[in-house]
Amino acid sequence: MKDKLVQSESGAALILVLFVVVLLASVGSAMLFSTSYSKQTIVSNAEVQGEFYRAEGAIEVALKEMEIYEKGAIAYLQEELPKQFSIGAKNDIPIKVSLESYDKETNTYEIGARYASESKVNRNLLLNIQEETIVSGYLKSPLYFVENFNYNGSNNHDTLKLYDNKLKMSNTDFNTVKAHLEIPNDASNFGHEKVSSSKNYMSGTHFFEVLDYSGNDNQLYIGPDAIVMVKEMKVTGQGNTSNIVVDGVLIVNDLNHGGNFPITVNGALVVTSNYNGAGKLIINSGIIVKNFSTSGNNDFTGEGKGIDCSLIGLANAGLCKKGSSEDVTNTSTIKVEDYKTTIGNK
């Protein structure tokens, strides 16, 4: 009886041990599978994240190129895409950016970025693009007057033939020019500084009460990005090296131009009241004057091609003749309306 009880207990213990072994094996196998699966998930997520950031980087590069594309953003999408960008630490991973779809009526364009091959991530942006094309031109005449034109001198040195080539500007267009250049209606607001020596103005807007050049070998230079406003300007004297060069904009309320040295106008000269003089003008672009009066030799030379209309706010006015293809400017406003990311082989 005792032997049977011992045998029964030994059998039960054996079964219990086997059960524990099977249980531990099952748990260990599950833990091993879980660890392996987690490792695979981490690797997969890292790859997806890498693709996402590279696709995002390629889109950023494409957007920057789009912003500065000479023909405009829409032309970039149509002419440059699809295009591959090398993104990564070694720049060895090609990312393809493509124009996926577009709707000209709503000005919306969808671009997508993904690995050039074996892609898992597709990054898409929906863009709204507004464009304006400006064909810049030039005033049709080297000289425009608003109210009066008095040509009292000899035309022996007038190679521009201003008497025959002058044109009248309306008060409306003249006020448009003044508003664009932000010329004060009251000339007393031009400032209180007197200038009587050589000066260079490379950029910005400058105001003076009196600018007096009296032939003392002084030079005044107005750069392409500068605007100089003067209440009263006097040009007199016989300086051999004296000169005034206007590559930007010179605005004068009253200009008395005598003496022996020239004013060279490559940008724009705007006289809001009276121009009086017999001095030399080299007009490579043009001048606008409210009242023009001249006498003497009338030494007017230069190219006389007219003022760049975009410089004075008249780009779309009838006074302007259209420029060449080199004068075309495209401006684009790009707005991101939506974006999405899809994961999957493609």
Q: Are 232 and 213 in contact (CB under 8 A)?
A: no
pLDDT score of 154: 65
Q: Whole-angstrom Cα distance, residue 271 to residue 288?
A: 6
Write down the pLDDT at residue 327. Answer: 56
pLDDT tens for each residue of 91-118:
677 889 999 999 988 999 999 999 888 7
Question: What mean pLDDT comes out for the span 168-178?
Answer: 91
Q: Which residues contact 336 (CB under 8 A, 6 or more apart)?
A: 125, 126, 127, 128
Lowest mean pLDDT among 37-51, 181-195, 315-329: 37-51
Spatial contact of 112 and 85, defined as CB atoms under 8 Å apart: no
- Whether 319 and 309 have beta carbons less than 8 Å apart is answered as yes
Instruction: Assign 35 a pLDDT band (cuts: 50, 70, 90).
Output: very low
What is the structure's pLDDT at 203? 92
Alpha-carbon distance 263 to 220, whole Å?
9
Statement: residue 257 has pLDDT above 70: yes
Pick the residue with more confidence: 317 or 220? 220
The secondary structure of the chain in percent helix, strand, coil, rounded to multiples of 5, reads 30, 40, 30
Q: Could you say which DSSP state residue 158 is in?
A: B
Q: pTM score, two decimals?
A: 0.58
| Tokens representing residue 284 in the block | 């490579």
Confidence band of 6 (pLDDT split at 50, 70, 90): very low
End-to-end CA distance of the chain: 76
Domain ranges of the chain: 1-132+332-346, 137-322
**What are the structure tokens assigned to 294, written together?**
């001249």
More confident residue, 15 or 311: 311
Main-chain phi, psi angles of 124, to 5 degrees = -125, 140
- pLDDT, tens only, 174-212: 998 998 888 887 777 777 677 777 889 999 998 888 888
Q: Would you state the pLDDT for residue 211?
A: 82
**222 and 156 Cβ atoms separated by less than 8 Å:** no
Q: Is the pLDDT of residue 41 over 60?
A: no
